[in-house]
A and B are shown apart, each in its own frame.
Chain A
């Protein structure tokens, strides 16, 4: 197959076809770039990193939300590729959708380390002691690049714009499972609302489309378990990880030594 056609849904629902020459390893984003540079400079779409890590180029390709930069045309097994904007989001121009509500849902679950002693968190010089297996309990959910694919694949989001969405709940659980976080109770009350975690019905579409295997469906069920632990089993919040003192001042090992200073040490201001 040396020719490929992209049928792009433009603003107002117009479907326009573009014919391109196919190159080995060509992705949908390559095709879109070629369209804007050679065929139609008014085609609106977002992109930046072209290596699947920034999350700008989410769109619905062949009916399923995907990242355009990492979707090889060869795996789509069709000569005419249907490209549409992400579902369940407001279209602003062609394939550019409004991600502000999605970002607002992320902010609504307070996704940051909460500590009772915020001064120690913001202005001390210690580090919290966290073991590797403790990191493993939440790290998978920290891989989220906020591309919005799970949000647009979720059936409940399609129905209920007030639903906070799989991404936000997965981030809330990421902080619930972080040993350093002491906001367990607050996070449970934030999720346990009529448009919160209970609106998820385990359709699994979020985990199916996630480009980074963050598995939000799993995070949501674990968040649910935390809520049930609190409501039914009357479980209490555990104390966050404690700061660890800096290493003792005694020198343990002699390291490589740089050559001696040619002048006195210290910063001579200049320029």
Chain B
């Protein structure tokens, strides 16, 4: 992949949301969490494949995982957080992309400008999602790390 001659372009610059609106942050997060999830999905399919090899193979896999110590649970917690954020933000993205909601309809711009696509509807959904995900993530943390939160 030859170096991109354009000024400050490429992966890092595309994922760098500094100075921009919150939706650009959620774009970067969505992409990072997506990559985490696809990585975990592949590992998870291999892991569950061990189930079909009988209980001894399964217990060996579990022991191999446990040998990672706290890293395993923290790692799973990160994956849980990624899944929560990716899913919740995904709902917002589908609302935007597939159903064209949250963007507002065309207006005649009046100065001082505030684009409706980043307006109240959009921001309300962005912040509710972030709140919900954080709450659920804490619950996932308690459940995974401290064994609490079992109903």
Contact = CB atoms under 8 A, between A and B. Distances in A.
Nearest to A222: B100
Interface in B6-28: 6-11, 13-15, 17-21, 23-24, 26-28
Contacts of B30: 201
Interface of B: 4-11, 13-15, 17-21, 23-24, 26-28, 30-31, 93, 96-100, 103-104, 106-109, 113-118, 122
B146 to A, nearest CB: 36
9 contacts: A64-B19, A140-B106, A155-B15, A201-B93, A203-B20, A208-B23, A211-B113, A225-B100, A228-B98
Nearest to A156: B14
Contact of A88 (B6, B31, B106): B6
Contacts, number: 138
Interface centre among B20, B104, B106 (most CB of A within 10 A): B106
A167 to B, nearest CB: 14
Given A63-B18, A204-B21, A221 B100 contact: yes
A212 B111 CA distance: 9
Given A63-B19, A155-B15, A156-B14, A218 B93 contact: no
A104 B15 CA distance: 25
A63 B24 CA distance: 14
Interface string A208-241: 1111111101100110110010000000000000
A207 interface: yes
A104 to B, nearest CB: 14
A97 to B, nearest CB: 7
Contacts of A60: 8
B25 to A, nearest CB: 9
A168 interface: no
A204 B19 contact: no
Contact of B24 (A138, A205, A211): A205
B23 A87 contact: no
Contacts of B9: 87-88, 157-159, 161
Given A211-B113, A221-B100, 16 more contacts: A62-B19, A84-B8, A136-B108, A140-B107, A140-B109, A155-B14, A158-B10, A161-B6, A201-B93, A202-B27, A203-B17, A205-B20, A205-B27, A210-B115, A224-B100, A225-B100
